[in-house]
Structure 1
Amino acid sequence: MKRRDVLYALAAGAFAPLLLSGCGFHLRGSGASTTLPELSLAGDTESGLAREFTAQLKQAGSGVSAQAPWVVTLGTPRLEERRLGGEGRASRDHELTLRASVSLQARSDNTYHLHTETHSASTHIRVNDDDLLNREALFSEARDQLEKQLAQKIVTRLVHVASWQ
């Protein structure tokens, strides 16, 4: 490769971002992310999902207040278990799915910006059905992780909705 070819390649690489930004192109996740306004929490506010959701809102710079202009209603989370594999095995794979419904309503005019969307998070775990103590610990740990994942999905969805308002 000649020196001139190397210089052309470097120049093209340097100008490409300028050309792309001029046409409105942006990489996902770049730029300022939309922050959420203060939210009011309704529905199932005592579940582990609600506690994780509140913690993630605080991390995202939003708060929870009873008089907030937006009301998020969380449905009661449902944990669904599906056993994978055949009978008669000591260890078995389980697919766990945590589902919850979410609504977002403006307090000022009672309009819904999200009306009862169901969100879910899933995981697979391997459990020895003969070891009951370890089984409960594994299921509890998996549920905690699913609550974190589902709360993050809900916060991400709310940020997406807020960016269009």
Structure 2
Amino acid sequence: MAHKEFKVKRRAFLAGLAGAGLVLMLAGCGFQLRGTGPGSTLTLGELALESAGGPTSELTREITQELNSAGVTLNDQAPLRLNLSSEAFRERELTYGDAGTQERQLTLTVPWSLQRVADGAYLASQEEVVVSGTFYTSSDQLLTRDDAREALKSQLYQNAARRLIDRLQTFQPDSTRTVQPSSAAPSS
């Protein structure tokens, strides 16, 4: 009986050792789970959020969730306001033909700006987040096309929210708690 217990403990030890080795190997090559690396939190603290789509739009919900995950508190009296203009979808066909499967591209553009409430100055003005993806459709499966389009829209909202958080990470408070861009940030 003691020999069987030793084998079970040995297996558990070897499995744990293999798991730890895998984690170290992945960490060594730079792998990290999304949202867990350096910069996964924003130092902005508080933001007011103004969205053209309103508080119940899918984009607003995704951005709110990402901001909360990044440690930002949403408060209407915050010193900074994130303004989201109306998002726009553009769809285009990538493959042409009468029969068979067709590839379609869907592009989401989200105009945004970051504004100081006290003096109305823009820290980022007329910026855009642009994300795109593709889906496949067939002319004889119209319902499937609509389902694929809606699934891709949801994914694009999530990607746009993450990209916006990445852009907001370039804005850091200085010693006087005034927020400034840390460097020239490319728009996308």
TM-score normalised by the shorter chain: which range applies?
0.7 to 0.9
Query: How far, CA to CA, are the matches of 2:40 and 2:108 in structure 1?
Result: 31
Deviations 1:59-81 (A, max 9, x none): 11112111111101101111110
Query: How far, CA to CA, are the matches of 2:76 and 2:110 in structure 1?
Result: 21
Partner of 1:84: 94
Which amino acid in structure 2 is aligned with residue 35 of structure 1?
T
Matched-pair identity in %: 31
Assess if the C-alpha contact under 8 Å between 2:42 and 2:70 holds in 1.
no
Alignment of 1:108-127 (within 5 A): 108-127=118-137
Assess if the C-alpha contact under 8 Å between 1:47 and 1:76 holds in 2.
no
What are the ranges of 5 or more consecutive residues in structure 1 without an aligned counterpart?
1-28
Query: How far, CA to CA, are the matches of 2:171 and 2:125 in structure 1?
Result: 12
Partner of 1:145: 155
Partner of 1:131: 141
Give yes or no for the alignment of 1:39 onto 2:67: no
Deviations 1:40-85 (A, max 9, x none): 1113234211110001000111121111111011011111101011
Question: Which TM-score applies when normalising by structure 2?
Answer: 0.67
What are the ranges of 5 or more consecutive residues in structure 2 without an aligned counterpart?
1-36, 174-178, 181-188
Query: How far, CA to CA, are the matches of 1:31 and 1:88 in structure 2?
Result: 48
Alignment of 1:43-62 (within 5 A): 43-44=51-52, 45=54, 46-62=56-72
Deviations 1:99-142 (A, max 9, x none): 01001001112110010111110111111232122111110100
Query: How far, CA to CA, are the matches of 1:158 and 1:62 in structure 2?
Result: 11
Aligned residues between the structures: 137
Let me know the Cα RMSD of the aligned residues. Answer: 1.9
Partner of 2:117: 107
Which amino acid in structure 2 is aligned with residue 53 of structure 1?
I
RCO greater where, 1 or 2, for CA within 8 Å and sep 6 or more?
1
Deviations 1:16-55 (A, max 9, x none): xxxxxxxxxxxxx658864232111113234211110001
Question: Which TM-score applies when normalising by structure 1?
Answer: 0.76
- Structure 1 runs (4+) deviating above 3 angstroms are 29-34
Change (3 A) 1:31 1:133: closer
